[in-house]
Chains A and B, each alone.
Chain A
Amino acid sequence: MGTVSGACHPAGVTVADQIEDLTAALPAPPAGEDLQPVRDRLAEAAERAVALLDGHSAERALPLRLPKGRVLDLLSCERLAVARHAGPADGGGASVALLRGQALDRFVQHELHEGPVAHPLEDLLAMVHAEGDLDLGDELAAAGADLRLEPLAAAARDWAGTDPGWWPRTQSAVAVHLADGLVRCEGRIDVELGGPLTGRPSVVVEVKVGRPHASHLGEVTHYALLVALRDGVAPSLLARWYPGTSLAHQVVTLDTLDSAARRLADMIVSWAQLQAGRPATERSGPGCAWCPDADRCPSFRPPPDPFDTEPEEVPA
């Protein structure tokens, strides 16, 4: 699959340099009619899902929404997905890891649009306040030094020098609506570069704190599918950026898209079945760590240490 993961990059090699190199001689990505089988597969799943719900008491679940987070939850554990849909994860706010992820997203944004972050916490709070998210601002301020922001801000310097000709944009929305809009698969991409209007290949980058994990790979291939269906042409390059390492990247093939489409089709039908009353299955795993039902689920297992796994394969 051409994945390079976790390698420290040589000093001075920016993300921009890597993207220029990686996209210099890529094969043409799947496009147009190539994508029809993928579209058909999802359309069929969406029709099945709507048929399960339409005209029954479960009809209130329409339109059926599958944001990226729900797809990942379903892949992890159905009961987790149902529990998170029913209410907030807990009353205690976001974890430090989650807050660090939010910080890193913004430091990359800052680097792309304004240059280096000068005062990590101050600048982060200024960005979050401009976004009007006062609750997140309070959580970040309360976490303070626990966030260890300096290394994240320094790592974001890797994004310096990105050519504006790539039309870099952050937190861009992507959506695929199926069955006349009754099934909606949606997400937000950390960084998009290039694409049909730019004259350059399309590149999707997910910004990640910490070490590589199987779910990250599932996430980017899910985005590749949504972008392919949105633009009518798949991204040429999928990448994950972990601070201080080279881009973990892969070229998008029809197989990548087909496997992501099979997974998403299964999740669409599963979510419809769950909304129609099928009991959720339980599958212990990393999700137990943030599951709202952890204190009452018989299948709960203390989550494995994510540092023990170094996955390279998309889960089937």
Chain B
Amino acid sequence: MSAAASEGARRELAGRAAARLGEALDLALGDTFRATAKRPRDGAGWFDVSGHDLAAPCPARWSVAGDDFVLSTRTVAGALGRLALRERHPDEPPGAAVDRVAGDLFAAEADAFYIDWFEGLDRAGRAAVRAAATTWAVGALAAVGGRELRWQTTRRTCNVADRAVRLRGGCDALDRVARPEVLVVITGRALGDDAVRVRAGFEALVDGMPRRQTVDRVRMGSAASAVTRAFPVTEELLDAAIGRVAELAAYRAVPDSAPAVPGRWCGDCPQLEVCPEGSALMAAGGA
């Protein structure tokens, strides 16, 4: 396949995926969540689907709008780690790069979503964040075998045409050489999990729809096992993600259709007090 034909095929793939996503959301949402105006700054009346949401274990929890995102070392380590890898000098130890960028976050990334929280921490709290970011950065480098990549510090988003729905990507890096042919995502999951395949398709979708052209591959990396697995972007891969987005959308459109799946995640669920299944699990001593 020539480069031009390949590009054409990838454009077609993106176009067809956008059309299929539209159809799937028509079925899932009906007349709800129609975009009648530009998305307001606070996202009121819209819902977002992120790569993290795809693996939401309890549909009932997901079905209720609410922001339960909490800033912590766990949610910030990757962002600060990516910033450090982006800014890292050749041969600079990742921990030193983390310390350097964290020492002057305003200069490195003034609009980082965690900047106020981080700057508000005391010395010990910041040490915990820097430690977690260093571990993340070294793990990410090990997963990709030290390869030079363009580490991403801003997240891609994509509003679905005519719908009050935004998809939020979580691509960690682009291949420096083959850009934009490969997206790299570091995951804490085992690479054989089906959720990893769905996530790969989702990242290809979020990246490909606005550009109207898909990448060739999404490479998912595991820091814990220091390997990556490539997922060629095909119709099938994109459909797996479209199917999951539509499933989540249907739960949001008709919350009563969303089953409660209790588990260890009930502990921090905002609905725990009004959820019989979660309460029963907690009363029995947790998962």
CB–CB A164/B72 < 8 A: no
Q: Which residues of A contact B55 (CB under 8 A)?
A: none
Per-residue A-contact encoding for B117-157, CB less than 8 Å = 1, 0 else: 00001111111111110110011011000100000000000
Say which residue of B93, B126, B142, B222 sits within 8 Å of A114 (CB atoms): B126
CB–CB A175/B225 < 8 A: yes
Any B CB within 8 A of the CB of A102: no
Stretch at the interface among A53-61, A122-130, A249-257: A122-130
Interface of A is mostly: mixed
Q: Which residues of A contact B279 (CB under 8 A)?
A: none
CB–CB A175/B138 < 8 A: no
Q: Restricting to A107-124, which residues have a CB under 8 Å from any CB of B?
A: 109-110, 112-114, 117-118, 122-124
Contacts A173-B224, A181-B191 given; does A197 touch B126 at CB 8 Å: no
Say which residue of B142, B192, B223, B285 sits within 8 Å of A87 (CB atoms): B285
Any B CB within 8 A of the CB of A186: yes
CB–CB B121/A167 < 8 A: no
The minimal Cβ–Cβ distance linking B79 to chain A, given in whole angstroms, is: 14
CB–CB B124/A110 < 8 A: yes
Q: Which residues of B contact A230 (CB under 8 A)?
A: 224-226
Contacts A113-B95, A167-B93, A186-B224 given; does A88 touch B142 at CB 8 Å: no
Q: Which residues of B contact A175 (CB under 8 A)?
A: 190, 222, 224-225
Q: Restricting to B52-75, which residues have a CB under 8 Å from any CB of A?
A: 70-75
Q: Which residues of A contact B108 (CB under 8 A)?
A: none
CB–CB B74/A114 < 8 A: no
CB–CB B125/A127 < 8 A: yes
Any A CB within 8 A of the CB of B94: yes
Per-residue A-contact encoding for B73-98, CB less than 8 Å = 1, 0 else: 11100000000000000000111100
Q: Restricting to B6-23, which residues have a CB under 8 Å from any CB of A?
A: none
Say which residue of B74, B130, B131, B193 sits within 8 Å of A132 (CB atoms): B74
The minimal Cβ–Cβ distance linking B47 to chain A, given in whole angstroms, is: 24
Per-residue B-contact encoding for A32-57, CB less than 8 Å = 1, 0 else: 00000000000000000000000000
In the complex, the chain A residue whose C-beta lies closest to that of B225 is A175
Contacts A63-B190, A87-B285, A131-B72 given; does A169 touch B138 at CB 8 Å: yes
CB–CB A196/B142 < 8 A: yes
Give complex CA distance A230, B141 in Å. Answer: 13
Q: Which residues of A contact B259 (CB under 8 A)?
A: none
CB–CB B131/A109 < 8 A: yes
Q: Which residues of B contact A196 (CB under 8 A)?
A: 142
Contacts A88-B286, A168-B95, A172-B135 given; does A181 touch B192 at CB 8 Å: yes
CB–CB A130/B193 < 8 A: no
In the complex, the chain B residue whose C-beta lies closest to that of A129 is B125
Any B CB within 8 A of the CB of A270: no
CB–CB B124/A127 < 8 A: yes
Give complex CA distance A223, B142 in Å. Answer: 17
Q: Which residues of B contact A117 (CB under 8 A)?
A: 124
Give complex CA distance A166, B146 in Å. Answer: 15
Any B CB within 8 A of the CB of A106: yes
Give complex CA distance A167, B93 in Å. Answer: 6
Any A CB within 8 A of the CB of B40: no
Contacts A130-B121, A165-B93 given; does A87 touch B286 at CB 8 Å: yes
CB–CB A180/B134 < 8 A: no
Any B CB within 8 A of the CB of A100: no
In the complex, the chain A residue whose C-beta lies closest to that of B121 is A130
CB–CB A109/B128 < 8 A: yes
CB–CB A184/B93 < 8 A: no
The minimal Cβ–Cβ distance linking B159 to chain A, given in whole angstroms, is: 30
Give complex CA distance A191, B286 in Å. Answer: 31
Q: List 22 A-B contacts (CB under 8 A).
A: A63-B190, A109-B131, A113-B130, A114-B123, A122-B124, A123-B123, A123-B124, A126-B123, A126-B125, A130-B125, A131-B72, A131-B74, A132-B73, A164-B95, A167-B94, A169-B135, A180-B192, A181-B190, A181-B192, A192-B138, A197-B146, A231-B142
Extra contacts besides A129-B125, A131-B73, A164-B93 (20): CB < 8 Å:
A87-B286, A113-B95, A114-B130, A126-B122, A126-B123, A130-B121, A132-B71, A132-B75, A167-B93, A167-B94, A167-B95, A167-B138, A168-B95, A169-B138, A173-B224, A180-B192, A181-B193, A197-B141, A197-B146, A198-B93
A-B pairs with lowest CB-CB distance, top 3: A181-B192, A132-B72, A114-B127
Residues of A within 8 A of B (CB): 63, 87-88, 91, 106, 109-110, 112-114, 117-118, 122-124, 126-132, 164-177, 180-182, 184, 186, 192, 195-198, 230-231
